[in-house]
Structure formats: structure tokens, C-alpha cells
Amino acid sequence: MLTRITGGRVIDPTAERDEIGDVWLRDGRISAPPPAGTQPDETCDAAGKIVMAGAIDIHSHIAGANVNTARLLLPEWHRASAARPADTPLSNAGWPTFETGCRYATMGFTMVVEPAVAPHYALHAHLELADIPIIDKATLSILGNDDFLLRLLRDKESADAVRDYVAWTIDTTRAIGIKVVNAGGAAAFKANGRQFSLDDAVPDYGVSSRAIVKALQHAVHDLRLPHPLHVHCNNLGLAGNAETALATIAAAEDLPLHLAHLQFYGYGSEGERGFSSAAARVAEAVNRAKNVTVDVGQVMFGPTVTISSDVLRQFNARSQAHPNKWTIFDGDANGWGIVPYEYRANNFYNAVQWAVGLELFLLIDDPTRVFFTTDHPNGAPFTTYPQIFALLMSRDLRAEWIARLPRPAIELTTLPSIRREYSLGEIAAMTRAAPARLFGLKDRGHLGPGAVADIVVYSDDADRAKMFGGAALVFKDGKLVVRDGKVTREQWGRALTVRPGYDHNIDRRLRDYYAERYGLAHDFMRVPEAAISRPEPFEHVPCAR
């Protein structure tokens, strides 16, 4: 079947293409234009519309035992979604798996990375992901607070041992990469530590947070995984923590490193309340460090819930829970904490946070090194994305918002002085081309021949929030799945994985370790293909950058 999407403005930064033209697709892939005169089986008129590849969200907590805990903690979210009109913030949360896939698809997203899978819960996470329709998925497995790694580092074992362990974990849990969350901080919290920084040592192991990050960064690099180590730094959310971000960027030492939700580390300690924006300094450091990529974790105002494997931080944030209930799970390694929270436009701190996110977006020069996230749902539900695109694309709209926020907060930021407006090409680079590159996905994020036919057609509406809120057409794997902002076809995506090789000696060691420590077979966390009751649930992404 040959389809032609014709007459739209085709924006494909990978090919440096921005022109009125056609996109051809055949059997689920983009194809080169056929010889002149060839008649397509189907033609979609995109005149006056924008054509882009499907968007990729690189960091959104959409599935797994931690997310499910949040669902069960907050039945009122569900009551709200059932009983209220469809356009209230809570009803837009995309809460159960089915809605999650549908809502992402209607916005033109065709792949989402779930960034926080505790290895022991990998099967659970993949089962949930398999129940999210339409979009493709991938997971990051969390290491860095687990006893096995901390022992390897304490006992000064070889880099090979760490590398094999990382590879074994990725392979067994079917992940696409590794994330470290407050390296050592959860282990320190188990020993009653209440704060933990880059050069603090984990009690009982004597290993510093920096040493954990470096060991994992090198292992990921040596394995030639496409995605660099994904780092959730220490001291999330604290005044003055820009120093932590700067120190972590410096610690990257020219090797690739991804810093997650940088907005939560963009804080200085100036002003009457000792809380200010340090986004300009952090952005400058990112601009200089070409080896570093970041995603933003933009805050938007409204009720949400924070879901984090940084148990130490979540415990310290418990007094801010709104509604007043929270859970902390001391896991075998990281565990997690769930703290509901409401960002308010009239709250000084929340207004600074909102501005810090936008400053980072706008002050980091290269749109392929700053990624578009709200750290869903931590900064805001993913359903707020259309509004954020609009804010990035219009300084007038930002000015309207700024006028409604507390002046003392805005004065401690540089946001009002920033004139930059994102172009559609930059939006496409940030949400399509760059994410595909960040995860080594050669056949996604662009519209060149051979790419997976994940294609979005947006109406070129001056109201950008409206435009990005409901795509005119979405093709997933060449099939039309969304028309006029509504899902028209149900189908199931795949989970993308990498499979680095490892020395099987690590398998024997882990078998003994799990038998002794847990009384369990060490592969209880494995995700057999047969466990996922969908055809072809996985897709393999090659290693080697």
C-alpha cells in the first residue's frame, strides 16, 4: 500500500528540510518519492498543514510499580476524571495505561521512554507498557543504590565487573539504558542519612556519590550503549542546588552524560527568601559542555503528584504533600516515594520554578541538547505539553503569563528579558530528531526513506497550544491512528531494547548472590517474550554509537 501525504509544510531537521512538499509511505516505512506518474493507493491532503515525524518523549513516568502506587494513593484523581468535564487538569492526567497511549498519540507522540524502572520490577513495568496502546516504549533501569554495585565499588573490583553487571541488568530487564537516581542517596537514607551530596560517602560502603556516577558513566560508555548515563543528581529541589548541577556537569569530564529534569537543579539562594533562579549560570555551563545533554522537567501550575525513586528527597518533601498523604517505599535498592503536590501560580517558589524551566529551554542554544519534558507527572502532567510549546514559541504569551505571577519571584529570574522564540524547526529538532539520536534510533525522528512511518500532520493554527493539542492526522507504523485529535484505530507498539554482551561469569556470580541474599533465582526479574501477550513486543536497537 502506497500512501502520499501531499502539499504540507514538511519539517524534517535531520534532512535539513523545511518546504512545501510530499511524504510517501509504503508498508509501514517512509519511502523515497516513486517515479513520476506513480499513482498512490491513498492520498492525504496536507495543504496548509505541518508535517513532522512522530514526537519522542525521553523522560515520562508512565508505567511501573511506582506509578501504580501513585494511582492507588490517589483515587480522587480518578473520581475527578470520571465526573468532571474533560478539560480540567486532573481529567487530563492520562492515568490508566489505555488512556496514556491514546492521549500521547492524539498529541502526535509516537514513542515514550519510561525512565525509572527498578530492576526487580522490570516485568511489572513491561506488562504495563504492553497495555499502553499505539505508541512505542523503552525503559531505563535504575542502578546506583543497589547493594551489588556498591559492593563491587567498595571492594575495588575491576571496571569489567561493573560493565558486565550493567550489561546483564540491561539485558535481563529489557531496558534501553541506565539511570542513576541520587547515586548512593537512597542507600544513605537507609542508614538514616538526611542529606547527601556528590562527595558524600555511602555509610557502610565508603563509596562516594561521585564514584558511583563515574563508574556507571564509564560502564555505559564502554558498552557503547547509544544512550549516555541518565543522571538524576543529588539535592533535587533545594535552594542553591545549581552548584550540584554545575559540579555534576564538571564531573562528566568530556564523556557523554544526560542530566534529567534540570529545572529542579536550577536554583540559587538569593533574595529575601533565599531561593532564586540560577538558570542562566546552569544554561551557560550546558552550552559549554558539548558532551552533556539535559531535559527540562518544566513546571506548570495545577495539581499533580511527584513520583520519584529519590526516596531521600521524597521523604524530605513529605510536609509539602497536598493532599496531605504520601508513601515512602524502602526498596531492595532505590525504592520510591510518592508525594502529591500542587504547583500554584501565586506561590513564590512555584513561580520561580516555572520561570527556571523556561529560562533553560530558552538560554540553552542548541535545541538538540535540551529535551522537552515535564518529568511527567513531577513538574506537570504530559497533557500540558501543548501549552508549553506555545510558551516557547511566543514571548508575548510568556509576558501575559509573567504578568499574572508574583513580581518578587519573577525579579529573581532572567525570563522577562529573554526574547527568543522557538521556531517550528527547532521544536521538531528538540522533540523528533534529537531524541532519536539520543537513543540511537536511526529509523525514527525523521522523514527520510526507510524511517518508520510515524508521521504527524498538524493544522497550522496560530494558537500553537491548539495545534499541538490534537493532531489532524497521526500515522503509527504507517497506519492512520488519529484523525482530528481523536484516536481512530487501536494498535500496539513495541518496547525498544539494547542487548549489550557480557561475560557470563557475572551470571554465575549473580546466581549465587541472589540465592544467598534473597533465596530466589537471580533471573526472577527477567522479562520473557512469552510474558507479554502481544505479537512482537520487543524491537532491538543496535549498540555502538
Partner 1 sequence: MDHAWIDGQPVQLEAACAEAARLLERSRLPVIAGLGTDVAGARAAIALAQRTGAVVDHMHSEALLHVLDVVRDAGIMTTTPTEARLRADMLLLVGPLPADALPQLLSAKLRERIVIWLCPGGTVFGGKVQAIGRSPDLLPTLLAAARATIAGRPAGPAPVGVKTIRSLGDQLKAARFGVAVWSAAALDPLTIEMLCGLIKDLNVQTRFSGLPLPPGDNALGVLQVCGWMTALPPRTGFARGFAEHDPWRFDARRLVERGEADCVVWISTYDPAPPPWTRDVPTIALTSGGASLPRRPRVLIAVGCPGVDHDAIEYVAAAGTLAWEAAAARRTIIRVSDALDRIAAALPTSVASPC
Binding site for partner 1 (CB under 8 A): 63, 65, 67-68, 71-75, 77-78, 82, 95-98, 120-121, 123-124, 127-128, 131, 133, 189-192, 315, 321, 324-332, 335, 338, 490, 517-520, 524-528, 530-531, 533
Angle at 242 between CA 237 and CA 244, to 5 degrees: 85
Choice between 79 and 224, CB closer to partner 1:
79
Q: Please choose which of Zn ion, partner 1, none residue 20 contacts, taking the beta carbon within 5 to 8 angstroms, the exact cut-off set by kind.
A: none
- Considering only residues 203 through 242, tell me which ones interact with Zn ion, judged by CB under 5 A: none
Residue 133 Cβ vs partner 1, minimum distance, rounded to whole Å: 7
Select from partner 1, Zn ion, none the partner in contact with residue 325, using the beta carbon and a kind-dependent cut-off of 5 to 8 Å: partner 1
Instruction: Please say whether the beta carbons of 538 and 436 come within 8 A.
Output: no
What angle, rounded to 10 degrees, do the helices at 505-517 and 159-173 form?
70
Which residue, 327 or 368, is less far from partner 1 as judged by CB? 327
Q: Which of residues 360-399 bind Zn ion (CB under 5 A)?
A: 375
Distance CA 178, CA 141 (A): 5
Residue 519's binding partner out of partner 1, Zn ion, none, with CB under 5 to 8 Å set by partner kind: partner 1
Backbone dihedral region for residue 182 (phi beyond 0: left; psi -120 to 50: alpha; all else: beta) = left
Nearest CA to 191 among 203, 173, 206, 208?
203
- In DSSP notation, 336-385 reads EEEEEEEE-TT-HHHHHHHHHHHHHHHHSS-TTTEE---TTTTSS-GGGH
Q: Is 541 helix (H, G, I), strand (E, B) or coil?
A: coil
Nearer to partner 1, 99 or 157 (CB): 99
Closest chain position to Zn ion (CB): 375
Q: Give least dist CB 329 to partner 1, A.
A: 6
Residues 141 and 379: their CA atoms lie apart, in Å, by 21
**In the complex, least distance from residue 400 CB atom to partner 1, rounded to whole angstroms:** 34
Q: In angstroms, what is the minimal distance from the CB of 118 to partner 1?
A: 9
Whether 455 and 54 have beta carbons less than 8 Å apart is answered as yes
Rounded to 5 degrees, φ, ψ at 500 are -70, 145
**Which of Zn ion, partner 1, none lies near 538, with the C-beta cut-off 5 to 8 A by kind?**
none
Q: Please state the closest distance from residue 179 (CB atom) to Zn ion, in A.
A: 8
Q: Which does 128 bind (CB under 5 to 8 A by kind): partner 1, Zn ion, none?
A: partner 1
Q: Round to whole Å and give the CA distance between 110 and 493.
A: 9
Residue placing its CB nearer to Zn ion in the complex, 116 or 247 = 116
Residue 86 interacting partner from partner 1, Zn ion, none (CB closer than 5 to 8 Å by kind): none
Q: Kindly tell me the burial class for residue 206, based on how many C-beta atoms sit within 10 Å of its own C-beta (0-12, 13-18, 19 or more).
A: exposed
- Amino acid residing at 244: T
Q: How far is the CB of 300 from Zn ion (least distance, A)?
A: 15
**Among Zn ion, partner 1, none, what does residue 475 contact (CB within 5–8 Å per kind)?**
none
From Zn ion, partner 1, none, interface partner of 480 (C-beta below 5 to 8 A by class):
none
Find the shortest distance in angstroms from Cβ 324 to partner 1: 8
Q: How remote is the C-alpha of 496 from its chain's centroid?
A: 14
Say which entry of Zn ion, partner 1, none residue 375 contacts (CB below 5 to 8 A, set by partner kind): Zn ion
127 or 397: CB nearest partner 1: 127
* Torsion sign across C-alpha atoms 517, 523, 525, 531: negative
Compute how many residues bind Zn ion; rule: CB under 5 A.
Answer: 1
Supply the minimum distance, in Å, between the C-beta of residue 4 and Zn ion: 40
* HSE, side-chain direction, 13 A CA sphere, residue 297: 22
Q: Which is nearer to partner 1, 78 or 395 (CB)?
A: 78
Instruction: Report angle CA 259, 295, 542 to the nearest 5 degrees.
Output: 75
Looking at the Cβ atoms of 117 and 351, the one nearer to Zn ion is 117
Does 114 contact Zn ion by CB under 5 A? no
Cβ-based nearer residue to partner 1, 68 or 414: 68
Using the minimum distance from each CB to Zn ion, give the nearer residue, 141 or 276: 141
What region, left, alpha or beta, does residue 469 occupy, with left being phi > 0 and alpha being psi -120 to 50 degrees? alpha
Residue 72 contacts which entry, Zn ion, partner 1, none (Cβ below 5-8 A, type-dependent): partner 1
CB of 73 to Zn ion, least distance (A): 17
Task: Label residue 539 exposed, middle or buried (CB < 10 Å: 0-12, 13-18, 19+).
Answer: middle
Q: How far apart are the first and last CA of the chain?
A: 34
Interacting residues toward Zn ion by CB under 5 A: 375
